[in-house]
Amino acid sequence: MLHNWGKYPFTDARLYPLSSYQEAISALEQLSGQVLIPRGNGRCYGDSALQRRVFSTLQLNKLLQLNEEDAIIRLQAGVLLEDLLSVIVPKGLFLPVVPGTRLITIGGAIAANVHGKNHHHAGAFGRYVKSLKLLTADGQILLCSTAENEALFKATIGGMGTTGIVLEATLQLSRIETAYYQQQSYPATSLLHLIELFEQHQSAPYLVAWIDGLAGGKQLGRGVLHTGRPCSKEELAAKAFPDPLLVHPTAKLNIPRFIPSWLLQPLILRLNNAFYRWNNRKPVSQTKHYASFFFPLDAIKHWNNLYGKKGLLQYQFVLPFSASATGITAILATVHAARISPYLVVLKRMGERSPHAAATDFPMPGYSLAIDFKYSPQVLDLFHRLDEIVIQHSGRIYLTKDARLPAAAFRKMYPEAVLHSPEIFRSLQSERLFDL
Instruction: Give the residues lining the site for ligand FAD (CB under 6 A).
Output: 4-5, 37-44, 48-49, 57, 77, 99-101, 104-105, 107-108, 111-112, 114-116, 160-161, 165-166, 297, 400, 427
CB of 240 to ligand FAD, least distance (A): 31
In whole angstroms, how close is the CB of 207 to ligand FAD at the nearest point?
13
- Choice between 92 and 120, CB closer to ligand FAD: 120
CA-closest candidate to residue 367, choices 392, 344, 394: 394
Contact 87, 95 (CB under 8 A): no
Closest approach, Cβ 338 to ligand FAD, in A, equals 24
Q: Residue type at 332? A: L
Shortest spacing between CB 85 and ligand FAD, in angstroms: 14
Three-state DSSP class for residue 373: strand
Nearer to ligand FAD, 55 or 220 (CB): 55
How many helices and strands in the chain, by DSSP H and E?
13, 20
Pairing verdict, β 174-175 and 253-254: unpaired
For ligand FAD, the closer of residues 54 and 220 by Cβ is 54
Three-state DSSP class for residue 133: strand
Based on CB atoms, which residue is closest to ligand FAD, 298 or 387? 298
By the 8 A CB rule, do 401 and 108 touch?
A: no
Query: Which CB atom, from 41 or from 354, has the smaller least distance to ligand FAD?
Result: 41
Q: How far apart are CA 252 and CA 300, in angstroms?
A: 7
Q: Where are the alpha helices (DSSP H) in 250-400?
A: 266-279, 290-294, 321-337, 377-392
Q: How many angstroms separate the CA atoms of 174 and 76, rounded?
A: 19
Taking the C-alpha atoms of residue 362 and residue 10, their distance in angstroms, rounded to an integer, is 24
**Which helix or strand (DSSP H or E) is residue 350 part of?**
strand 345-350
Nearest-approach distance from CB 68 to ligand FAD, in angstroms: 25
Residue 296 identity: P
CB 166 to ligand FAD: min, Å: 3
Q: Nearer to ligand FAD by C-beta: 6 or 187?
A: 6
Q: What is the gyration radius of the CA atoms in the chain, in angstroms?
A: 21
Q: From CA 430, how far away is CA 422, in angstroms rounded?
A: 9
In the complex, the smallest distance separating the C-beta of residue 265 from ligand FAD, rounded to whole angstroms, is 21
Burial class from Cβ neighbours inside 10 Å (0-12, 13-18, 19+) for residue 317 reads buried
Nearer to ligand FAD, 382 or 433 (CB): 433
Residue 127 has phi, psi (to 5 degrees) of -60, -25
Closer residue to ligand FAD in complex, CB, 207/220: 207
For 201-275, strand residue ranges (E) read: 206-211, 223-230, 253-254
Please state the closest distance from residue 275 (CB atom) to ligand FAD, in A.
21
Q: Which residues contact 140 (CB under 8 A, 6 or more apart)?
A: none
Nearest CB to ligand FAD, comparing residues 289 and 348? 348
Q: State the nearest-atom distance from the C-beta of 82 to ligand FAD, in Å.
A: 11
Residue 75 or 194 with smaller CB distance to ligand FAD? 75
**Residue 77 CB, nearest approach to ligand FAD (Å):** 4
Largest CA distance in the chain: 62
Asked whether 371 and 338 are in contact (CB, 8 A), the reply is no
